A and B are shown apart, each in its own frame.
Chain A
Amino acid sequence: MGQNAATTAFAPWNDPDANPLIRFENVTKRFGDFTAVNNLNLTVYEREFFALLGASGCGKTTLLRMLAGFETPTSGHILLDGQHINGVPPNKRAVNMMFQSYALFPHLSVWDNIAFGLRRTKMEKDEIGDRVQEMLRLTQLEPFGRRKPHQLSGGQRQRVALARSLAKAPKLLLLDEPLAALDKKLRQETQFELMDIQEKTGTTFVIVTHDQEEAMTVASRVAVMNKGNLLQVATPGEIYEGPNSVYVADFIGEVNIIEGTAKIVGPDELAIQYSENAPPIHAKIETEGFSDGQSVSYAIRPEKIGVSLTQDDPRPNKVKGTVIDIAYLGSTSTYHVRLDCGQMFSAQMTNVRRIEHREITWEDTVWLSWSNSAGLVLVK
């Protein structure tokens, strides 16, 4: 899918001839009898900005540490640029890692921190100086070269860690929750800086995060993990619009999940009955693989549902309910609506009017409506 995008779009994962930079082949990692990463297959391509997304403890860091060489897979293979790297120690890999704690050397200046990796190579002294200078410029740290890490702010330290891990021009840069320690505003700015730096240097980035907005912002593709399993790998758009499971739909952004039974009512149309007292939801969807009476989950994003005081909306799915709660979020408001049958829905509307002129309020009877292609039907 999505093949109709402009030909210039960067999408090597759709090219069957492209050689991946990283390939995980049936990789499993166990700690004792606890499985941290379970039989995982994954490919990452050169120049990608790849995000590993999942709740805390799902195995993201373990996956990253296997790439860096700090952990070896219990079974399976990891290939970097076509080479098996299972037994290669961290100091022999063209991979660098930016640690979650930054791990800056407290006894060395910013300059020496950045030069640390270069000094372990056969590089000439002048070259090292030039390279460090270049890194300082790239990360806008030029005035701070002589400072020690404890004399820097959180954001500056984060940039030193980035500069240090990029200094050796690795093929692959691993970033473990690089922005988790920053406050929200700085985090958003830094996300764009990261993207900018990734583009300028052309390095492949694999970033770990538990923040879905961050993953959606920065990544070319996102992998969603849960309990050591890879659930879905796709572009941010695909994952948002086409989650392949209830877990992914729920993890990425807000969603209404409605449990019901399916009935095939047309060549590519399903009706989902979720209550005896409400009309079924109609969904335009490939009906292959579905059967009448099958229990399914219908997932629909709040912003795809319209709220109105009248019945005039022409969209085919329409139900009546009562406004229970309104969450005012500035540019949008989320309406929590209870249908007469008891089912709850969230619907999101842009606030085109000032809040004091809002026409819908608590306890109002409203009509929710959405098109029959707005939602997804997911099988457990």
Chain B
Amino acid sequence: MNLRRLLIVIVPYAWLVGLFLIPFLIILKISLSDTAIAIPPYTPTLDLSAGWAGIKEFFSELDLENYYFLWTDSLYWKSFVSSITIATISTFLTLLVGFPIAYAMARAPSAWRPTLMMLVILPFWTSFLIRVYSWMGILSTNGFLNNFLMWTGLIDSPFHILNTPTAVYIGIVYTYLPFMILPIYSTLEKMDISLLEAAEDLGCTSRSAFWLVTVPLARYGIIAGCFLVFIPVNGEFVIPSLLGGSRINMIGKVLWDEFFNNRDWPVASAVAIILLLILVVPIVLFQRVQQKQEEATV
């Protein structure tokens, strides 16, 4: 009888162990290894045929050398800092753009809402890469935006947007906007409009009612949206590579370079482990917020 229950418990755990814990341990192991011109390109590899001695040998060769290297070469910690900075700023910008959109959607006549929701999700139906490429076409010196602005006569010479931080921010805000809008929309949509009337009845102006009622009630959506943008943006590498040029260093890009250009898997793995450690804090916080929100809505 309890077999069913056991199965229900085991399946998700097996999933986590197989697809998260084991790969994590493999990456951790590689991060403690040394590079080698071999396949795979690192040593040591575990040789179980040598028995106990082989295992001892294997562990004795693991060390923290790569982490030390990350610490000494400023390129790495600078890209970590730059990633976190870019993630923070673009999270804020996404919130700035996303909140009003979510608000307008939640206050739109209910017949329109499914359509508006569809429009927000629609971009996911085309490839992410194609959408970022098209931003290159829009933002480049001879791109649509500059051509349009010059045609209207607003500017005489083209803006240089592509390959600047601005282009990266535009790309990130555009790509991650739905992750901000949807959680905020779902909290705002549930909000009872009579709460705002009650606030006004008790002496609020409509602006103070917004800050004292609407924003606090949307807070879980805002926090969830911010995490949903902040966490993945830290590891983003397509957008900075394609729109940011060589000057923008984000940790995802460094990771890519180490893996595919330098073929230095151990250092790349160390970078990945550090990135994960940095993101554990916001991920845990995010989980707690989600839990709180669930409790509050019960």
Contacts and interface: CB of A to CB of B under 8 A. Distances in A.
Interface of A: 68-70, 89-91, 95-97, 99-101, 103-107, 116-117, 120-121, 150, 164-165, 168
B201 A96 contact: yes
Interface stretch (B49-57, B60-68, B191-199): B191-199
Contact of A101 (B194, B200, B208): B194
A105 B204 contact: no
Nearest to A101: B194
Nearest to B203: A120
Given A103-B194, A103-B195, A168-B203, 19 more contacts: A68-B201, A89-B200, A90-B197, A91-B200, A91-B202, A91-B203, A91-B204, A91-B205, A96-B202, A97-B197, A97-B201, A99-B194, A100-B194, A101-B192, A105-B195, A105-B213, A106-B217, A116-B199, A121-B203
Nearest to B202: A117
Contacts of A95: 201
B38 interface: no
Nearest to A92: B203
Contacts of A97: 197-198, 201
Interface string B269-298: 000000000000000000000000000101
Most buried by A among B200, B202, B203, B204: B202
Contact of B198 (A69, A99, A107, A150): A99
A103 B203 contact: no
Given A106-B217, A107-B216, A107-B217, A99 B197 contact: yes
Most buried by B among A89, A107, A150: A107
Nearest to B193: A103
Contacts of B208: 120
Main secondary structure of the interface of A (DSSP, over half): loop
A116 B296 contact: no
A100 B194 CA distance: 9
Given A103-B192, A103-B194, A91 B296 contact: no
A103 B216 contact: no
A164 B199 CA distance: 11
Interface string B198-225: 1111111100100011001101000000
Main secondary structure of the interface of B (DSSP, over half): helix
Nearest to B194: A103
Contacts of B204: 91, 120
Contacts of B296: 106, 150
A142 B216 CA distance: 26
A101 B193 CA distance: 11
Contacts of A101: 192, 194
14 contacts: A69-B201, A89-B200, A91-B202, A96-B202, A97-B197, A99-B194, A103-B198, A104-B198, A105-B195, A107-B216, A120-B202, A120-B203, A120-B204, A121-B203
A57 B219 CA distance: 36
Given A106-B296, A150-B296, A70 B203 contact: no
Interface in B214-263: 216-217, 219
A365 B132 CA distance: 92
Nearest to B298: A150
A73 B195 CA distance: 23
Nearest to B295: A150
A150 B295 CA distance: 10
B197 A116 contact: no
A70 to B, nearest CB: 6
